[in-house]
Amino acid sequence: MRFKIAIFVHHPRCSVQSSNGIIKALNPYYDFKIFTKHEVEDDYFSDVDAVCFPGGIGDSDAYDHLFKTNGKLILDYVKDGGKYLGICMGAYWADRHYFNILQDVTSEQYIKRPNTDIRRYYSTTAKVNVGQNATRMYFYDGAAFIGDRNKFETIATYSNGDPMAIIQNNIGLIGCHPEAEEYWYDRPYLIRNFYNNHYFLKTFVDKLLDK
């Protein structure tokens, strides 16, 4: 039986485009179900191996409105050991101001970090190091994960050394958009690298789910 992931969708904050990209990158290996801000059954998450919160356009202040109904169910699921996958906006929501599921780690705007190579809100590609391999990933105001590095595993870093993708216990967070599809790269300056990044997302999720 294949692992199953529940994806939260509320366009544009957790966008259809991001959700579709995640599904396309992982569909050969995982099954999916979709949920929204509307109430779900008490046992909705009982058959899933992870909940996923994609990226999108908007601000994290929408949190209270979006999770007024299902927030407790999500928190109970994660606190009971369920896996949490957050990409861009979803990574911010893991922070202490929202779901508050991280230990001694904060999700901070990379564009405001010391020695960042990206300083403005716009679609671009970020320089990323995955182990000893350098690549570029689609980026739009994503998070860096700041805290005691002994308390999480760093999977990838930005060019300034800040963690870009981490796993802490049952929480997996990614600041960039490895799920980006080819049509996202609609500007000449955006370097296409989506196939390699889809593979990165797959290996990251495999690791998070101990697959």
Nearest CA among 58, 66, 3, 60 for reference residue 35: 66
User: What's the CA gap between 161 and 155, in Å, rounded?
Assistant: 12
Place of tokens 């191996």: 49
Q: Given this model, what pLDDT does residue 59 score?
A: 65
Segment-wise mean pLDDT, segments of 10 residues, the chain, 211 residues: 92 85 94 95 96 82 84 96 96 94 97 95 92 93 96 98 98 97 87 85 97 79
User: Any idea what the Cα angle at residue 155 is, between residues 121 and 127, rounded to 5°?
Assistant: 40
132 burial level (CB within 10 Å; 0-12, 13-18, 19+): exposed
pTM to 2 decimals? 0.95
Q: Which domains does the chain have, with CATH numbers?
A: 4-208 (3.40.50.880)
